[in-house]
Structure 1
Amino acid sequence: MALKQTFSQKMEQKLSPQQIQLMKLLQVPTMELDQRIKQELEVNPALEEGKEETEDDFEQEEYEEELGEDEREFDLDEYMSDDDEPAYKTNISNKSKDDEEKSMPLSGGKSFQELLISQLNLKRLNEEEVVIATYLIGSLDDAGYLERDLEAIVDDLAFSQNIITTEADLEDILHYVQELDPPGVGARDLQECLILQMDRKQNGDITRYTALKILEDYFDEFTKKHYKKILQRMEISEEDLKDAIHEIIRLNPKPGGSLKSSSKSLQQVVPDFQVVEEDGKLTLTLNGRNAPELKINKGYKKMLKNYAEGAKLKKTDKEALTFVKSKLEAAKWFIDAIQQRQHTLFSTMTAIMNYQKEYFLTGDDTTLRPMILKDIAEIVDLDISTISRVANSKYVQTQYGTFSLKHFFSESLSTDSGEEVSTREVKQILLEAVDDENKRKPLTDEKLAKLLKEKGYNIARRTVAKYREQLNIPVARLRKEL
């Protein structure tokens, strides 16, 4: 096939830098918006906090006119191209190749492994045993379990640490690790983890001894809730079994999680909106942090004006003019983006509030209407992707609690009467049915589907199972209680 050249015209839609900046700001939650504004204030001296004075309105218009005149008077490209001196000669570098980048690290708590290693000093271990114990601690997962086989660890120690040991010796050192706090660390499975914890709680109490024997000898029956088999084989009363199970469920199946979570900072949820109900009317307010007062620095305005009224500019003056104009333009863009963000957030939340008015008045989940992103996008006349960015990581405070905006979006189902209802309404009915069920004979998915059908919701059993899993409700067998 012969190659040939052709000319063609086509139209393309491209996002401007301001649009890209707005899209990024829309999906930023309130807490991060504060940091984003502080960052912009640090890098742009033409931007500052505060409210524009009303007396400056005329000066602002005059400034904008002067800015337009400056742009006609000063052609930056022309000035830069006519200059005989290359730009690199005026550049200054205060860093040498030997300079090191130094930064101040953020302080944080000790890691899970570090907290365990610090306890090894209390054990009577020689130097080699400490190295092996440290290696074992480093092999634990986030939950505190040792999931690797001891045989594989023996080989790793031989190749990486040049330490020759046996599985039996490794087992002995693992017992030392399992004596560390919190109880249960170093276990190789859930059964061993619970046994380690219950063994430490033994103080002559018969109930705890019964719980330990259940974990040691009847763990499979316990996990499958075959309580009748345990009663028959252990020859205990139902009340004794109930007390023992109460002791077991108080144990921590993930002992490493407690230490790991303590070393992490908790994320604080700051509501972006507040909905207040007064006399049957809803009022929406936007968090003040979402609408910060920003303005352009007066000094930079005057600086640009002085350059515009000045005589022929030198090389340094042209560079200063370029810097000032770029910073002023960036500041104006950022202020406009923040204002546009405020408007978009408010209009989107207003549409959600009006769409789900019955819920905000009553707080009843069953009153939530089916609502998808497209519904709100059509109301506010915005793209679905924009609504998705607004709903992401945003929260609204109501008199019934603080909720994520995603809480109000749900698919729809049709009842026998043809009415469209939210899937959240069905899930709420499932929750209430499970809460009210007889725990000795929990409702199966089939019975739950039958119950919903009696209420007018014709839903298949597999759909009920899907909703049950989304609500983190275990199957009927695992919900059984004595």
Structure 2
Amino acid sequence: MQSRPSLELGQHQQLALTPQLQQAIRLLNCSSQELEQELAQALEDNPMLERVEAADEAAAQAEQLDRWWSQPASQSGSDDIPESGRGQNLEEFLLQQLHATRATARDRDLVFALIAALDRHGYLDGTLDELAGALPEEWAVDPDELATALRLLQSFDPPGVGARGLAECLALQIGRLADGAEDPAILACARRLTGHLDLLAAGKFSRLCDELACGREQLDRAHALILRLEPRPGRAWDAADIHYVVPDVLLHRVRGRWQASINPALAPRLRVNQTYVDCLAQAAEADALHEQVRQARTLIRSLGQRQQTILRVAQAIAERQHAFLEDGPRALRPLVLRDIAHELDLHESTISRATRQKYAQTPWGIYEMKRFFGTAVQTRDGADTSAMAVQDLIKDILADEPAGRPLSDSRIAELLAERGVPIARRTVAKYREAMGVPTAGLRKARAASL
């Protein structure tokens, strides 16, 4: 059969996203920090765009609101940083100690290379052989020479820095306690215990007593000593461990009704530079600059659409979750993206982007807006409750459990059923893990070591 060329007419539909729509979608998906980076880059690239400077009084008010609404999302803070290390990062703190030693120039170069290989937790990133291979060939580094430099680094503060793993980190810190008031037998037991951290985490104390040839009392004291050590020596210098959450939306009651508003501290205000626009009107050829003006106006419109969408979604959530705003997390009702999307005549993906990494200030604290969504859990009386409300019940049950007799997942399921929320044991385990609560065995082991 011989093929012949032919012409055919056909119709098909295709959805094409314009650059303006792509920009609006990207901005809606941004968190407040990501949005600030986007705007900073836009202000740098486009001279036609400028930020509206607020009046001094308004700026002071926004700063005050920012301080009041800001909430740390981690318990670690700068108060743990040693006085000599304030204002420094970990590398600078270690280099300061290196310059105070009497090491030779070559040893200093090797220690400097090791410091550069530390991760943000203070651990050595890689083996000595890998580090030696990464150094210049003309250095002709001997493995024993690099090991000596590592021992010098590990003698610095904070204790445990330069370790190649958790076990070595804890052992280094225990070695610093040898000259203190600790019982030498307990120190020796704790040092051996660092080689069996897997058994310790599993709470297998009987097997540990056999492995270490020690009594239970001695093991418990060694365990308590390890719990006082710092598993991440660089924690105090790690700015990444400190997270501050500033709410994008404020939920407040107005005349008996809950209203949503955009946090003025996070509301970016941009405008087109009118001076440049006036100059363009007199210019004969300025196509490129006219394009930048158009881009600036498009960005300003996209920002307005972003705030309007977030505000509409937040208001709809406030109306659906007014019981939560009145009575707390236990009153949170089941809600899915489809409910809000149908109410606002938007796509579910738009609701997802509008709630991603967006936070709301409520009477019960700052919550990510996605937490207001959750599947339904049916109670015994036929009503629906949310997974977050069930987690709050589990939290109350665990708060009342005996210290030496932690409740199993099965027992927690029974207590929930008595409160009218019958769920399976595996569901309890899923919620417990989501809450960051260890198993009953580990909770019992921790209680026994205190």
| TM-score bracket for the superposition, by shorter chain length | 0.7 to 0.9
Whether 1:178 aligns to 2:154 is yes
Secondary structure (helix, strand or coil) at the match of 1:421 reads strand
Task: Give runs of aligned pairs for residues 118-197 of structure 1, distance below 5 A.
Answer: 118-146=96-124, 148-149=126-127, 161-166=139-144, 170-197=146-173
Q: Give the aligned length.
A: 406
Counterpart position of 1:257:
235
Aligned in 2, Cα 1:115/1:386: closer, same or farther, shift over 3 Å?
Answer: same
Secondary structure (helix, strand or coil) at the match of 1:396 reads strand
Q: Distance in 2 between matches of 1:190 and 1:472?
A: 21
**Alpha-carbon deviations, 1:270-329, whole Å to 9, x = none?**
32111123564323222235655655666677678x77xxxxxxxx72x23x45654554
Counterpart position of 1:54:
none
Alignment RMSD: 3.7
Counterpart position of 1:420:
384
Amino acid at match of 2:94: L
TM-score, normalised to structure 2, is 0.75
- The correspondence for 2:181, drawn from 196, 205, 214, is 205
Out of 424-433 and 221-230, give the one that drifted further. 221-230
Counterpart position of 2:226:
248
Aligned in 2, Cα 1:267/1:216: closer, same or farther, shift over 3 Å?
Answer: closer
Aligned in 2, Cα 1:248/1:165: closer, same or farther, shift over 3 Å?
Answer: closer
Tell me if structure 2 keeps the 8 A contact 1:198–1:212: yes
- The correspondence for 1:360, drawn from 308, 325, 330, is 325
Counterpart position of 2:80:
none
Task: Give runs of aligned pairs for residues 30-429 of structure 1, distance below 5 A.
Answer: 30-33=32-35, 36-37=38-39, 40=42, 43-45=46-48, 49=52, 112-113=90-91, 115-146=93-124, 148-149=126-127, 161-166=139-144, 170-202=146-178, 204-206=180-182, 209=184, 211-219=186-194, 220=196, 222-226=200-204, 245-259=223-237, 261-262=238-239, 268-277=244-253, 280-288=256-264, 317=284, 319-320=285-286, 322=287, 325-362=290-327, 364-429=328-393
Tell me if structure 2 keeps the 8 A contact 1:30–1:289: no
Q: Distance in 2 between matches of 1:18 and 1:151?
A: 52
Secondary structure (helix, strand or coil) at the match of 1:274 reads strand
Question: Per-residue deviation at 1:215?
Answer: 1.2
Counterpart position of 1:8:
10
Amino acid at match of 1:461: R
Secondary structure (helix, strand or coil) at the match of 2:436 reads coil
Amino acid at match of 1:10: H
- The correspondence for 1:23, drawn from 11, 22, 25, is 25
Tell me if structure 2 keeps the 8 A contact 1:31–1:270: no
Aligned in 2, Cα 1:162/1:228: closer, same or farther, shift over 3 Å?
Answer: closer
Identity of aligned residues (%): 32
Q: Distance in 2 between matches of 1:38 and 1:153?
A: 38
Question: Per-residue deviation at 1:473?
Answer: 1.2
Q: Distance in 2 between matches of 1:461 and 1:323?
A: 65
Aligned in 2, Cα 1:160/1:113: closer, same or farther, shift over 3 Å?
Answer: farther
TM-score, normalised to structure 1, is 0.71
Mark the structure with the bigger radius of gyration: 1
- Structure 1: tracts of 5 or more residues without a match: 52-108, 308-315
**Alpha-carbon deviations, 1:368-413, whole Å to 9, x = none?**
1122222211111111111111111211112222222122122222
Question: Per-residue deviation at 1:351?
Answer: 0.5
Amino acid at match of 1:443: L
Secondary structure (helix, strand or coil) at the match of 1:426 reads helix
Aligned in 2, Cα 1:28/1:191: closer, same or farther, shift over 3 Å?
Answer: closer
- Structure 2: tracts of 5 or more residues without a match: 55-86
Tell me if structure 2 keeps the 8 A contact 1:47–1:331: no
Amino acid at match of 1:372: V
Secondary structure (helix, strand or coil) at the match of 1:285 reads strand
Out of 398-407 and 157-166, give the one that drifted further. 157-166
Secondary structure (helix, strand or coil) at the match of 1:275 reads strand
Secondary structure (helix, strand or coil) at the match of 1:119 reads helix
Secondary structure (helix, strand or coil) at the match of 2:24 reads helix
Q: Distance in 2 between matches of 1:123 and 1:187?
A: 20
Q: Distance in 1 between matches of 2:277 and 2:146?
A: 73
Question: Per-residue deviation at 1:188?
Answer: 3.5
**Alpha-carbon deviations, 1:75-131, whole Å to 9, x = none?**
xxxxxxxxxxxxxxxxxxxxxxxxxxxxxxxxxx76644543443333443344334
Aligned in 2, Cα 1:278/1:231: closer, same or farther, shift over 3 Å?
Answer: farther
